[in-house]
Each structure stands twice: as C-alpha cells, then as structure tokens.
Amino acid sequence: MLALFRKEINSFLSSLIGYMVIAVFLLINGMFLWVFPTEFNILDFGYANLDGLFILAPFVFLFLVPAVTMRSFADEFKSGTIEMLLTKPLTDMQIILAKYFAGLALVLFSLVPTALYYLSVYRLGMPTGNLDSGGIVGAYIGLFFLGAVFVAIGIFSSSTTNNQILAFILAVVLSGFAYIGFEFIYSLSWFGSIDLFIKQLGISAHYSSISRGVIDTRDLLYFFSLIALFLSFTKLSLASRKW
C-alpha cells in the first residue's frame, strides 16, 4: 500500500498536474485576496482577517480536487492497468486508500503555502497580531476536512467510469451538491419542522461550524462518516467490475 501511495504521489509531482493544482489554488485565492477590488480584498477591506480565503477556497477546491482525482481509477480502466493492479497482494480497500491519501496529500500541499497569507495578515494587524488566530486554525481544519471529503467523492466518481471528463463532471456535481445543495433545499422551506435537519446533511453547515474555531465532535464525526461512505461506495464500484 505504501509503495502504491508513493507511486501516486510521484505521478502527481513528476508531471505538471500536482504543481498546476497548487499554483492555480494559490493564484486564484491570492488574486482575490490581494489584487482584485472585491469584497474579499484584505487591503481594501481595512480589517485584518482571512475570512475571504475560507469563503473562496471551498469553491476553488470544488473544481481543482476533481481535476486531480478524475484520473485515479478512470485512467487505470482506460489503459487496462487496473487488472495488473488488482493482482497485486493488496485488498481493494488498500488500493483505494493509497489513492485517497495521495490525493489528500496534494490538498495538504496546496494549503501549506497559504500560511504566508496568515503571516501577512498577522503583520498587517493594528496592533501587530490583532486577529482571531483560534478561529483561523479552526477554519484551516474545516477546509482540510472539506478537501478530504471532495477527494473521497472524486475517487468514487473516477471508479465509476473510464472517461476522465465524465469522472470530473460527476465529481463536481456530487461535491457541489454535498457542499451547497442542502443549503438550497433548506432555504425552500419545503420540509417544515425538519428543515434544520436537512441543512445539517450538507457540508456547508459543518464547515461553517468548525470555521468559527469550535471543534465539535459532531462535525468531525460527520466528515469522517461522509469520507467513509464514499470510500465504501468506491469499494462497491470496484467489486461490481469483477462480477
């Protein structure tokens, strides 16, 4: 499993894919936070915080993570190497986890450089360091778990087809619905007394909760459960190809 994980990481870093994902993530967020005259611009806003990053980053991840994961199984199916991979002394779940953790590592790699944004805002505060560091740490944790869920959804989507474009589209649709779909349904007020329960089914509610700096075990359980659910779906998808 470790060898497969290293192979996946090397495939990301030996090509432009991994570097492009990190560069695009930093570029888009950096332009909105520091250059474009929008409501997210830190210098124009006049208040030292990173709220803009944690509002923008999920939507950037919504497209970049599927772009990374779309080839994880789809490419194996198309090239025919999946048969050779399945003959290795690895269980289906070990193969899935190796690919999952490789995708998760790339998410982590893209988040680490944003520490420069934190240091910049820290220095810009009046007085220096006048910002809610606890809330920012919580928001980073929430953003990491959000990316972790998107990776699990992307891996599942890739396991359902040998077409990378279809895998990308499916991952974007599923991730988008999981993130903001339930917020939209909740706002329609069709469900009466259970509308708050509907809202809690979506990622956005739990991401917002953690982003306030409060690490609630219910939010963590939600993220772990959603990740486990889609990895289980991936296992079923691989198993169905053996029937």
Q: Could you report the per-residue pLDDT of 191-230, keeping only the tens digit for each?
A: 666 777 777 888 988 888 888 777 788 889 999 999 999 9
Q: Could you report the per-residue pLDDT of 18-42, keeping only the tens digit for each?
A: 788 888 888 888 888 877 777 777 7
Q: What is the pLDDT of residue 225?
A: 95
Q: State the CB neighbour count (10 A cutoff) for residue 73.
A: 29
Residue 152, CA distances (Å) to 31, 78, 162, 215, 233 in order = 28, 21, 17, 22, 10
Q: What is the pLDDT of residue 76?
A: 82
Please give the model's pTM, rounded to 2 decimal places: 0.91
